């Protein structure tokens, strides 16, 4: 019985997103990608129906990792990696650049961050969290999804696990809730920083898929 109540996601075991470098005000690339991979692993625990999201996010992480590995010293910071990539693709409309990869990875991460935060903010503590994922999707990804992608998500969100399945039973999940609150601090800070960076460098693209 105890095993059935164990949370699918133990936030104390996830690597927090990095603090911004105080001097450079930048994000360390390797640390960011490691934390993003942790989040992707947590989404995988939602169930096999979420595998397309997992596959897409992992593909974008691998794209960023490949660019980073070309010159890990020059690309120590995520912003330097993206600026190098975007300058090299100024005349390209291709959707498979590293910059595009971070853009879509960031949007998916933001949906997950909003979903976790919605669970924390839900004062009813309802075990049904479908509406919380739906709201997170509407805020983070809906503006960039066309008809078919929207319909796909409308089906998918009905299969998100319950609050108990994700966080643990109400009697035993207090430590996990505390760990989640801690995890979300730098998670949100990284997303806000990347959003500001994309806006400042005119890198946002609003096409729909």
Run of H or E residues at 113: helix 98-121
Tell me which CATH code domain 27-201 carries: 1.10.3520.10
Q: What is residue 90's predicted lDDT score, i.e. its pLDDT? A: 56
Environment class of residue 168 by beta-carbon count within 10 Å: exposed (0-12), middle (13-18) or buried (19+)?
Answer: buried
Contact call for residues 157 and 137 (beta carbons, < 8 A): yes
Interval 16-36: pLDDT, tens: 999 998 889 999 999 999 999
Interval 28-58: pLDDT, tens: 999 999 999 999 999 999 999 899 999 999 9
Question: Which among 114, 125, 103 has a CA at the least distance from the CA of 209?
Answer: 103
For the chain, what is the largest distance between any 2 Cα atoms, rounded to a whole number of angstroms? Answer: 59
Q: What is the pTM of this model?
A: 0.91
Q: What is residue 96's predicted lDDT score, i.e. its pLDDT? A: 56
């Amino acid at each position: 019985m105890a095993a059935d109540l164990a949370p699918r996601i133990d936030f104390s075991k996830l690597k927090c997103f990095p603090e911004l470098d105080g001097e450079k005000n930048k994000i360390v690339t390797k640390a960011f990608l490691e934390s993003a991979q942790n989040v992707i692993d947590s989404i995988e625990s939602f169930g096999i129906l979420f595998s397309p999201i997992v596959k897409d996010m992992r593909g974008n992480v691998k794209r960023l990792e490949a660019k980073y590995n070309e010159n890990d010293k020059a690309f120590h910071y995520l912003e330097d990696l993206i600026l190098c990539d975007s300058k090299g693709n100024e005349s390209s409309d291709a959707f498979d650049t590293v910059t595009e990869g971070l853009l879509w990875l960031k949007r998916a991460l933001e949906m997950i961050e909003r979903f976790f935060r919605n669970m924390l903010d839900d004062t009813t503590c309802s075990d049904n969290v479908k509406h919380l994922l739906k709201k997170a999707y509407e805020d983070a990804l809906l503006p960039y999804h066309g008809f078919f992608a929207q319909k796909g998500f409308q089906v998918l969100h009905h299969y998100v696990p319950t609050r108990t399945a994700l966080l643990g039973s109400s009697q035993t999940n207090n430590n996990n809730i505390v760990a989640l609150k801690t995890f979300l601090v730098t998670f949100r800070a990284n997303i806000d920083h990347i959003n500001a960076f994309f806006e400042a460098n005119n890198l946002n693209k609003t096409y729909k898929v």
